[in-house]
Amino acid sequence: MKLLLWLSRIVLGGIFIFSGFVKAIDPLGSAYKFQDYFLAFNMEGLLFLALPAAILLSTLEFVVGIGVLTGIRMRLSAMGALLFMAFFTPLTLYIAITDPVPDCGCFGDAIIITNWETFYKNVFILAAAIIVFIYRKRIRVPWTGKVDNLLAIIVTAGVIFLSGYCLFYIPVIDFRPWKVGNDISELVMPTEEIADTYLIFENQETGETREYPADDYPWDDPEWAEVWEFRDQRREVVQEYQEAEIDAFYIEDEFGDDLTDFYITRPGYLFIVVAHDLYRTNTRAFEQRITPLAREAEQAGIPLIVLTGSSHDAIEQFRHSYQTPYPFYLSDDIELKTIIRSNPGLVLLKDGIINAKWAHRRIPSMDEIIEEGIISR
């Protein structure tokens, strides 16, 4: 039983810690997932609770996981884990059956699993939670009750601080396709299918069949053509077609022209300001940081563009109000939220590769970017 208890604690605590951590470093991403569920279940009135619920959930998961694994407030932690699983296991079964949202979001963007995989995972974790709860009194810690309480407070405060920091700026770890170092010019393009085609011919005199590569058969030999007649063809797939990892991203101008390839595959540096909603964006960031940076970048020969999910009317109103001397383009607002968890946020590309990302509170000047070595003079 000691071995089974330890294995249960490691599995239960480890999964809770991981699940809580990946949500804590991306509170906005978790809030978006809560919004998806609220909309799917016709609970629009609870949308304002999405962010507080996301932070609360990640904090509870992480604290319970630490408690189960280390023994901090063990009885309370074991009870918390069991209540968690007793609630979420039947809930995930219902979600798996009805499929209101394709991805449960239980591991944030770190690991994407289906709703049925989530349910099976929860059944396994529930078994571990039951074992830990039954034998919770056997788990002892070498410190006193006061230290136990202090450690619980420190862990709770630490994970809340982490969520606040990542909410105020951007996630300290990025699990999305738009993370620094990724080649976006490759990720927005699908993997085309590669296949070899073979032609099958039949000898009209002997009935023999032969197979030739489509680009290498004696079609220009009259003697061969008199005897051999085409019957069929066969395709041998060498490389399967795969959708682009980033499949909803586009850059579209006011005339509906698609400029995605023009900007994403262009050589050199490119600043992209992401403002998924111009009505809710931080206007001071545009006035005090983005517009001055755009002028400095123009002098350095580096273009700066803004991508938004807002309407053309909203764009015109915004440009007129804040006198923005740079182009605005339309893009998918959901994809823009994926690019950077900031409204606005700044992304620097070089040859289609993401070099750096900044939340609006940390958008630097051109001189600061050069001093940090991100852009060479």
Residues 158, 282 within the same domain: no
Residue 377: what pLDDT? 66
pLDDT digits (tens, 9 = 90+) for 326-349: 999 999 999 999 999 999 999 999
Residues 276, 338 within the same domain: yes
Residues 279, 320 within the same domain: yes
Average pLDDT along the chain: 92
Burial of residue 3, with CB atoms counted within 10 A of its CB: 0-12 exposed, 13-18 middle, 19 or more buried: exposed
Residues 163, 206 within the same domain: no
Share of the chain above pLDDT 90, in %: 79
Q: How far apart are CA 150 and CA 144, in angstroms?
A: 10
pLDDT digits (tens, 9 = 90+) for 215-233: 899 988 998 999 999 999 9
Q: Which token pair is 353? A: 């590769």
Provide the strand spans (E) within 204-295.
209-213, 228-239, 269-274
Residues 265, 229 within the same domain: no
Residue holding tokens 């030999």? Answer: 221
Q: Phi, psi (5° rounding) for residue 107? A: -115, 30
**Does the residue 153 lie in any domain?**
yes
Residues 45, 150 within the same domain: yes
Q: How far apart are CA 267 and CA 351, in angstroms?
A: 5
**Which pLDDT band, with edges at 50, 70 and 90, does 311 fall under?**
very high
C-alpha distances in Å from residue 235, one per residue of 194, 339, 342: 10, 39, 47
Q: Which token pair is 193? A: 């299918």
pTM of structure:
0.84
Amino acid letter, residue 112: I
pLDDT digits (tens, 9 = 90+) for 15-32: 999 999 999 999 999 999
Q: How far apart are CA 138 and CA 255, in angstroms?
A: 70
- In which element (H, E) is residue 349 found? strand 345-350
Residues 234, 268 within the same domain: no
**Which pLDDT band, with edges at 50, 70 and 90, does 118 fall under?**
very high
Q: How far apart are CA 217 and CA 211, in angstroms?
A: 9
Residue 330: what pLDDT? 96
C-alpha distances in Å from residue 104, one per residue of 26, 92, 320, 340: 15, 8, 41, 21
| Pairing status of strand 269-274 against strand 304-308 | parallel
Residue 193: what pLDDT? 86
Residue holding tokens 């604690």? Answer: 9
Higher pLDDT, 245 or 51: 51
Q: Say yes or no to pLDDT of 376 above 80.
A: no
Residue 350: what pLDDT? 94
Higher pLDDT, 244 or 88: 88
CATH number of the domain that residue 367 is part of: 3.40.30.10
**Does the residue 248 lie in any domain?**
no
pLDDT digits (tens, 9 = 90+) for 170-223: 999 999 999 999 999 889 888 888 999 999 999 998 999 999 999 899 988 998
Residues 158, 58 within the same domain: yes
Q: Which of 3-17, 232-246, 341-355 has the lowest mean pLDDT?
A: 232-246
**Does the residue 71 lie in any domain?**
yes
Residue 106: what pLDDT? 86
Structurally, the chain folds into a number of domains equal to 3
pLDDT digits (tens, 9 = 90+) for 50-89: 999 999 999 999 999 999 999 999 999 999 999 999 999 9
Q: Which domain holds residue 208?
A: 194-239
